[in-house]
Structure 1
Amino acid sequence: MKRFIETVKNIFSIEELRTRILNTLLFIAIFRLGSYVALPGVDPSRLDVATDGLLGLLDVFSGGAFSKASIFALGIMPYISASIAIQLLTMALPYFQKMQKEGESGRKKLNQITRVLTIFVTVAQSLTYLNTTIPNEALIVSRIQFTTISVIVLTAGTMFCMWLGERITDKGIGNGISMLIMIGIVSRFPAAILQEADSRGGGGVLLFVLTLVALYFVVMGAVALTRAVRKIPIQYAKQVVGTRGAAVGQRQYLPLKINAAGVMPIIFAQALMFIPSTVASFFAEKSDLAGSIASTFSNYTSWQYNVLFGVLILVFTFFYTAISVNPVQIADEMKRGGGFIPGVKPGKDTSDYISSVLDHITFPGAILLAAVAILPAIASLFGVTSAFAQFFGGTSLLIMVGVVLDTLQQVESYLLMRRYEGLMKSGRVQGRSTALPA
């Protein structure tokens, strides 16, 4: 406890770090305040927005703003969608690949294209959101007037959230877009834990404590999955140093993440899991089998749902790892820098070796990622409330763990730069090597 208090004093004794923390808290407060401001022309008390499947994921990321019909109902998800689209284009089209290789100027061009694309994505998503989730009974103005005004307000709200994320990155602790998503997720935790405590009643104190202990070990497992790397030794050619011509060589490591895809496979898989139940619901009245399929895949605790969910995560993990980690490019850059893997020839042999290692570590990483994704369903089967079970795994847990690790790494870098002790006695805090698309 004494060390913790001393660390807090050290953090706030650094003026720049103190200013960045206060700026971050201010921007977060603005973001949370906006999530309670309802769209003009709607009565929030008459709303009954369904939050199942993908809609539930959007509601979690927006901190409940989606179900409240807030001006921040779409949050920064349109920006995330646009960023993913631009990332895929940089891997498919030479024009975008060229911009990516232009350095800072190319990055600014890509950011500008992403912002413009975000506006179009937000308009499309806002029209879908307004027409499918806001009933006429909840409106106090005409539908045409409400839709016209709300599209403008939702687009402005998304752009403002994007601006807040950029300000957190520039003026705050950093990683602003991921920070806003994490805050939206964490904002639901106090109500979820109170709901879990009430469901246990007076005689379920022991079970409640065991649930918290289980959550602790799940979080530690997620931390291990996020930080786990396979280090490939790299030897650089010897260079002449000093007037006497001493030759020295440098030995480094190429860290390959066991979970290089991050949370993206779970997001992609969840986006597709609503399709079986939606398609089957159209034929439910004509076929008992279709009705059974619709019922089964609407229940996220069914074994059929989780098997398909896990398979999709495995597929998307390999797919996203393949497009985000390029062994040929890594081998070429290593060769140009005079580096080589001991016992492996530079060039094609090096890229083949990296591909082989990547394949061997991606499979267990994908299995663990799928296990984390279905943990909420397992927790629900053991009697944990659905709201609290969401914190036992899935996208929510991985995003929270990743952002917290990144934030601690930023804080520790300031402490070490000012010659203070780090946050951990056991070693440096390691964040994620890849953040959310932003």
Structure 2
Amino acid sequence: MSFSQDMDDEYEKLIRRMNPPRVVIDNETCKNASVIRVDSANKHGILLEVVQVLIDLNLIITKAYISSDGGWFMDVFNVTDQDGNKITDEEILDYIQKSLGSDACFISSMRRSVGVIPSTDHTSIELTGSDRPGLLSEVSAVLTHLKCSVVNAEVWTHNTRAAAVMHVTDEETGCAITDPERLSKVKQLLCNVLKGSNKSREAKTVVSHGVTHTERRLHQMMFADRDYERIYNDGSDEAQRPNVNVVNWYDKDYSVVTIRSKDRPKLLFDTVCTLTDMQYVVFHANVDAEGPEAYQEYYIRHIDGSPVKSDAERQRVIQCLEAAIERRVSEGLKLELCTTDRVGLLSDVTRIFRENSLSVTRAEVTTRAGKAVNTFHVRDASGYPVDAKTIDSIREAIGQTILQVKGSPEEIKQIPQESPTRFLLVGLFRSR
């Protein structure tokens, strides 16, 4: 860390000691939500920092009011748990107080979001490249071949691009991989897979010994990869896209961003991530997500103090916010897989998807206490609804595993009404 960074951190700590954040959690005022009020000294990125704490607890933000004019930051969040109930768990309430209140010892939010915290538990691999059917299967096969075990992973795809953050360990030791020569080989082989036959767009593989906020990094990686540069075809997806508008309020020197879109978990986090990455400061905001549609309104300036200066900049803000909202939208059929973890499991499962012409659009892989808990969003590689026979083939190929299938009827073709949504899969993984 440089001398200037040290000085910045010490100055930030001094400000926090002089103006300690105040967090009030109120379960009485609102009938159907817990109200969390945060007052703090203002700094760039603090809104993202607060929202990140709340979404990491899987809380649903139904309303938010934000004001940060001058040197003080004040915001109010109405939150519930996943079932729509108030937050009453003392452990969660205590965590919120400690994470956002005067006891918190935050380093700079931007460095915390972007930086890498050293870890000996695993090696982090970040991948970006062109999306194509079977890509996750190919990546997983390379890692298995190199004796790397995937303990956690998250994969997003959007607008022909793919990004992944994967945490891997050495198959033999169960710890992070430290041999520079081996890491260089991992990087080289994965980069070759990501490039594929597409030489027109860059592919990246970054290997580090660190812990990062996975979803935060995925937003940053896809933003850096310019996934917001939409490839227009026939415009058939226009009606599905969020409604984003940007106008200048010249009297106050703000740009006003309004967003209307279908509500979903973590929507506020996704939009705030992008505004922060684009170096905009949110001075005021109003968010209402109590119905099926979410409304977000932001009063912003660039970090240099200016509102949006040109039509080109306005269009870029719109495109980037659209992309931020769409990245997490789940396309395709949702498959939830839970089984005893073993070496090569992810490679085997994704290979079976590929062999049955399924393309993975999103994936979340976690390992807990020897159990692999994996969620995949898949679609037919040809763009059609997933056929019931495909599900049957997967049942035949994957063994002793519970597979929960979720999705709207149009996502599954020709499945009888009496077909259960929870399958006990029979047979053993076939060795290849």
1 or 2, which has the higher helix percentage? 1
Higher relative contact order (CA 8 A, sep 6+): 1
**Same-fold call, TM cutoff 0.5:** no
